[in-house]
Structure 1
């Protein structure tokens, strides 16, 4: 058995058997039995000794989770705090932002992020991109050089298109201009390489790390963290520590920490290679799907494949029928995901490393039957 096949087998063996074909990891991956049991065991422990005593006993495991996230983002464990998800992480950061409220971001920025910028009083400008929505670093240097914003926000991998942004090149531009770079890694963490010279990185648990819902992380380098606005009551707590202060679902954080450990044990580079391989396979098998156009280049190193309808198919209805009639789970991505760029919904396919050729072929066959 080849290394990718072994990786796929081990990933699938660690989980309950799928009820059908799961091609929706960009929305929510399937948790492992170990992650589920870690959360359940902590809930039982809370019942035995009380929530706060149980939380104290969980501290070493949570510290290991922070260390794992630090390894995946190129930061240190002390730079990492838990949140309830990616959106919560961004809102927390914007709430204590210490500088002017100006931000440069993608024309295809995620809709909820745009809403967070607007509610936070940020003035927004667009980063220059190519026809696939990928940032042109040289053009960005020229566009931002004369009047730099207070923040560059880069969604490393979009919700509506599986195209990788040049994180390291953008980080280099930001360093030249003296502008903090904040990276939305909701779709990127554990999917592509997120070790770059960013000032802050945030992500969620439920996507490519395959942890429980309702958990996220925010990692902030000290150079930025030391500038964040601390509340009057902070006392000895840093501004970053204050973001994690308060009520929390410790059980879910433990499940997430286990998921991070399993990803590291599987080998991040091996996982990235397997996901890229599945993306190439999916785009190849779906290239001739009647009524659909594959958006991404075939060799784009991600597992996300976006299908744009060409003959009037409704992705929402197609997704519902794929589930009801074929047991295949995908995502119908509406224009609200990138309201400044999208003009019509798309169908998104996102297998994890335990998908096989048969799974993608089943989707291709189902699409032909439906459209």
Structure 2
């Protein structure tokens, strides 16, 4: 039986702003449900009334219950999840904990994010490791045979991107992860563009570690992030950036690190934003992740189908399983100009640049693409009006 789609008009009742504009930027920072907004604002008000510590104490049980909620989301145990202040914080904390030395190798792919690549290259230069790119096939997906051929005992880490920032593809990461883990490499999956639009689990992806953000498809607050890691992967990591949250000062010159994923958390964080993220997680789980995925796919496919026949418009998506990200260019118009022209019509899109995904964009001869990412709260009529607006350019 087909998964029942989420009615956009119903979702808009919970989404301030979704009806008055055509919002196509959930891959950037989505519109939160009213319940998320209320949770954040109400807690900030409570902090103003009684102070941050007392307000936190009143919600401690909810904060602790959040680990079980995140575990349900990632299909793992509560001790295998942690919260951070961004996907970047999650990802950098893990990278910093990977034991790397002279001659070690890091493997990445052609759809790697710019922020990740910068961190790889910086760290590799410091410790004498190398960063190598596994090539993609014509479909933009990682070449699994090339991956298999390049693996050896010096490969300490394979970095995978589940959904690239451009290109509209869902990477089949499980196959790559299985090959890399069999060779003894850790697999770090950046899922910042997939959690909230697709079911993402440790078991399903095959990854050792998954990092993600709250602000995109999950519809949580900015300044929130998550990570999930297998317990056996934690034994291979060496966390360095720890504080009172990740360790206990047990003696004058002694500390004891936590033995779970929370070793990567920091003591200070926005309690209001964390509570908002937990509401967003529950909201997505209550809707059903399969239902969310089917609805996002439906909206994105409608947008692609409308754009593809337009003269001067080229859809730049790759792969046989497209994501909720729709990338396109308009002949004779810079992507920034398209974004501006659509904004004048109350249509919100963004621009993905070569600096965000240099390997892929260079291979395809692209400098910029327009990125549109409709969530389930975007109605069919809104998508049709967006297509008409692009046609009028």
TM-score above 0.5, yes or no: yes
How far apart in 2 are the matches of 1:123 and 1:253? 36
1:286 to 307, 325, 342: 307
1:14-25 paired onto structure 2 within 5 Å: 14-18=14-18, 19-25=20-26
* Match in the other structure for 1:227: 236
What SS does the corresponding residue of 1:340 show, helix, strand or coil? helix
* Match in the other structure for 1:194: 200
How far apart in 2 are the matches of 1:11 and 1:140? 42
How far apart in 2 are the matches of 1:3 and 1:128? 35
* Match in the other structure for 2:250: none
2:37 aligned with 1:30, yes or no? Answer: no
Q: CA-atom RMSD, angstroms?
A: 2.2
1:167-246 paired onto structure 2 within 5 Å: 167-195=173-201, 196-231=205-240, 234=247, 235-238=255-258, 240-246=261-267
Distance apart, 1:167 and its partner CA: 1.7
Structure-2 change in CA distance of 1:230 and 1:360 (3 Å): closer
1:118-152 deviations in whole A, cap 9, x for unaligned? 222252111231123211323322232x4551001
How far apart in 2 are the matches of 1:362 and 1:123? 48
Distance apart, 1:261 and its partner CA: 0.3
What SS does the corresponding residue of 1:88 show, helix, strand or coil? helix
Distance apart, 1:4 and its partner CA: 4.6
What SS does the corresponding residue of 1:131 show, helix, strand or coil? coil
1:223-247 deviations in whole A, cap 9, x for unaligned? 1213322458733332743421222
- Runs of 4+ that moved beyond 6 A: none
Assess if the C-alpha contact under 8 Å between 1:66 and 1:257 holds in 2.
no
Assess if the C-alpha contact under 8 Å between 2:90 and 2:226 holds in 1.
yes
How far apart in 2 are the matches of 1:369 and 1:84? 41
Q: Which runs of 5+ in 1 are unaligned?
A: none
* Match in the other structure for 1:323: 343
TM-score, normalised with respect to structure 2: 0.87
2:373 aligned with 1:350, yes or no? Answer: yes
How far apart in 1 are the matches of 2:169 and 2:210? 18
Distance apart, 1:356 and its partner CA: 1.9
1:333 to 348, 352, 356: 352
Q: Which runs of 5+ in 2 are unaligned?
A: 248-254
1:119 to 108, 116, 122: 122
How far apart in 1 are the matches of 2:10 and 2:61? 26
Assess if the C-alpha contact under 8 Å between 1:182 and 1:200 holds in 2.
yes
Distance apart, 1:112 and its partner CA: 0.8
How far apart in 1 are the matches of 2:281 and 2:275? 10
TM-score, normalised with respect to structure 1: 0.92
Distance apart, 1:61 and its partner CA: 2.3
Assess if the C-alpha contact under 8 Å between 1:72 and 1:189 holds in 2.
no
